[in-house]
Amino acid sequence: MKIYVITDLEGVSGVARWDQTGPDQPGYAQATRLLTEEVRACVAGIQSVEPGADIWVWDAHGPGAIDFERFPRGARLINRGTIEPPYFLDSTFDALYFLGQHAMAGTLNGTLCHTYSSESIASYHINGIELGEFGCRAALAGTMGVPTVFVSGDDAMDAEARALVPEIRVAQVKQGLGRQLALHMSPEDARDLIRDVSAEAATAADSIPPYVLPGPPYCQEIRVSGRSDTAYLTRAGFVQQDAVTFVKHAQRLQDLNV
């Protein structure tokens, strides 16, 4: 069995403040330790039912957030760096996991919710459907026939994921009480839950269909906010529609910002 795991930081139990999310912030060192231990639990859960699984983990948080010295045996890491869609994900994988994932921008009580950039993006829509990072990358996997079978995060992420993939297995490790406030499970309890649900997801992977967007063609609309530097969008082929809206058409999802 071959599994691709996308990690993020904001959906980890114990992480709920922006000052935990960047390397120059006081809470970052603890947050990376918490994430790394959840990675270890996720990999252990998969290995408990698939001892020989080929597990690829992509450290997808902006500046990176995995302590490599504690990275689990039997898995392999794609470190944070210059990487573009499809992120080395392809049809040879049997399942996609999301670990420590946050809800999309604008989600009520979604802890640290945002879509790709917490500073400059208001929303992403593809073919008229609003999607966050989970939805965009689940859809990208879907174009390859790869099902998205697991996600961990808060209750807002739980609801967002189930709306797109009803059969997905979810490890809800905290309840959002505000954008920088949550009711957290203890680290040990969160890891136990992640381990158990990761194992269940590996067992159920064959029965969970991929998330597939209508298309091709695909049309992506990105609305920006704040003091956005939008030159990267026009360089990537997006056409500016108004002061905050940029649009691009493509035959492949991987040619969009996903």
What CATH number did the domain enclosing 54 receive? Answer: 3.40.50.10780
Grade residue 227 by pLDDT with cuts at 50, 70 and 90: confident
Q: Domain limits at 204?
A: 2-213
The answer to whether the bond into 51 is cis (omega within 30° of 0) is no
Total domains present in the chain: 1
Average pLDDT over residues 134-152: 98
* Alpha-carbon Rg for the chain in angstroms: 17
Please determine, for residue 118, whether its predicted confidence score (pLDDT) is greater than 90. Answer: no
Q: Is residue 161 part of a domain?
A: yes
Q: What are 235-247's pLDDT values in tens digits?
A: 999 999 999 999 9
Q: Is residue 234 part of a domain?
A: no
Q: Is residue 252 part of a domain?
A: no
> Percentage of the chain with pLDDT > 70?
100
pLDDT score of 141: 98
Strands 75-78 and 54-59: parallel
* Residue whose C-alpha is closest to residue 45's, from 95, 105, 103, 118: 95
Please give the Cα distance from 140 to 81 (Å, whole number): 20
Q: What are 36-85's pLDDT values in tens digits?
A: 999 999 999 999 999 999 999 999 999 999 999 999 999 999 998 889 99
HSE, side-chain direction, 13 A CA sphere, residue 99: 34
Q: Is residue 35 part of a domain?
A: yes
Q: Is residue 224 part of a domain?
A: no
Q: What are 155-212's pLDDT values in tens digits?
A: 999 999 999 999 999 999 999 999 999 999 999 999 999 999 999 999 999 999 999 9
C-alpha separations of 109 from 61, 175, 182, 194 in Å: 21, 9, 9, 22
> Percentage of the chain with pLDDT > 90?
93
Q: Is residue 76 part of a domain?
A: yes
Q: Is residue 111 part of a domain?
A: yes
Contacts of 70 (CB under 8 A, 6+ apart): 33, 36, 37, 40
Grade residue 110 by pLDDT with cuts at 50, 70 and 90: very high
Q: Is residue 233 part of a domain?
A: no
Residue with tokens 């990690």: 7
pLDDT score of 252: 96
Average pLDDT over residues 143-160: 98
Residue type, 101: Q
